[in-house]
């Protein structure tokens, strides 16, 4: 399934990037938490990139250099993944991860279960649904906004044949607002964005013809 990537209010055509990927948790963007440390599954992997036959020569990021694609701690794992999948494009993956981050947060905040179902691993999806149902039972409505993603970088990578796992840390500013069903403000403010640091891990079976990555673990930085 091909999904056009939407990042904030812009339609970003990330060079043919397809997004049917999965991500899981936010860190306190609405005073609610989705589960952590979800165990990755070895099958049904999906991905973030519409890879092309090109292996970029990307230099790992030194400490304190947020503009680089990946940290030095991820270098060995990234080299193994690039060697196993010659079509993998690191830069495109990071772009897709940022787009997915925005899409998943928006769907979760809106309580869009159908969208989440198409983007999430079963365990992550079920966790989202549990939180959404509890929120609806309390009569709460979220009007959160992802103000911007300040930085997205790969902090860890691993290849356990045939499954590749890549962890991305997102540093973002998020404005959180909670209202009741009548629109009365319960808490938060759109004019006061909070710094957020989320860590999402994506996995894919590299032996699969499906190029999409699946989110199978979430945490906070």
Q: Range of 195's domain?
A: 6-220
Q: What is the pTM of this model?
A: 0.70
**What's the pLDDT at 85?**
93
d(CA 28, CA 195): 10
CA distance 185 to 16: 41
C-beta neighbour count of 134 within 10 angstroms: 11
**Is 12 within a domain?**
yes
In a domain, 166, yes or no: yes
Q: Decide if 197 is inside a domain.
A: yes
Encode 31-45: b = buried (16+ Cβ within 10 Å), e = exposed.
ebebbeebebeeeeb
Candidates 153, 133, 156, 135; CA nearest to 144 is 135
Handedness of CA 100, 159, 125, 149 (dihedral sign): negative
Residue 11 lies in a domain: yes
Question: Roughly what angle, to the nearest 10 degrees, separates helices 90-110 and 122-137?
Answer: 30
Instruction: Please indicate, yes or no, if residue 32 is contained in any of the structural domains.
Output: yes
The reply to whether omega before 162 is within 30° of 0 (cis) is yes
> Would 1 be classed as within a structural domain?
no
pLDDT digit of tens for each residue in the chain (221 aa)? 433 333 333 333 332 333 333 333 333 444 444 344 333 333 333 345 443 323 333 344 444 444 468 899 999 999 999 999 998 999 999 999 999 899 989 999 999 999 888 777 888 889 989 999 999 999 999 999 999 999 999 999 999 999 999 999 999 999 999 999 889 999 998 888 899 999 998 888 999 888 878 778 888 87
Is the Cβ–Cβ distance between 99 and 184 less than 8 Å? no
Sequence-distant (6+) residues with CB within 8 A of 111 are: 132, 135, 136, 142
Domain count within the chain: 1
CATH number where 149 lies: 3.10.450.240
Q: Which residues have C-beta within 8 Å of that of residue 99, sequence separation ≥ 6?
A: 5, 6, 7, 12, 14, 17, 19
């Amino acid at each position: 399934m091909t999904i056009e990537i939407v990042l904030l209010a812009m339609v970003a055509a990330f060079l043919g990037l397809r997004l049917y990927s999965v991500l899981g948790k936010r860190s306190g963007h609405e005073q609610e938490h989705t589960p952590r440390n979800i165990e990755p599954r070895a099958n049904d992997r999906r991905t973030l990139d519409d890879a092309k036959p090109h292996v970029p020569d990307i230099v790992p990021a030194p400490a304190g250099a947020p503009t680089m694609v990946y940290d030095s701690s991820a270098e060995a794992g990234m080299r193994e993944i690039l060697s196993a999948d010659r079509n993998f494009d690191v830069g495109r993956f990071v772009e897709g991860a940022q787009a997915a981050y925005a899409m998943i947060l928006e769907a979760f905040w809106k309580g869009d279960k159908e969208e989440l179902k198409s983007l999430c691993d079963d365990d992550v999806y079920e966790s989202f649904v549990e939180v959404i149902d509890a929120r609806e039972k309390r009569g709460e409505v979220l009007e959160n906004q992802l103000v911007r993603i300040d930085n997205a970088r790969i902090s860890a990578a691993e290849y356990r044949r045939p499954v590749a796992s890549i962890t991305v840390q997102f540093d973002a500013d998020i404005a959180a607002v909670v209202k009741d069903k009548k629109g009365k403000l319960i808490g938060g403010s759109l004019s006061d964005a909070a710094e957020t640091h989320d860590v999402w891990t994506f996995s894919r079976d590299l032996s699969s013809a499906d190029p999409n990555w699946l989110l199978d673990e979430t945490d906070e930085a």
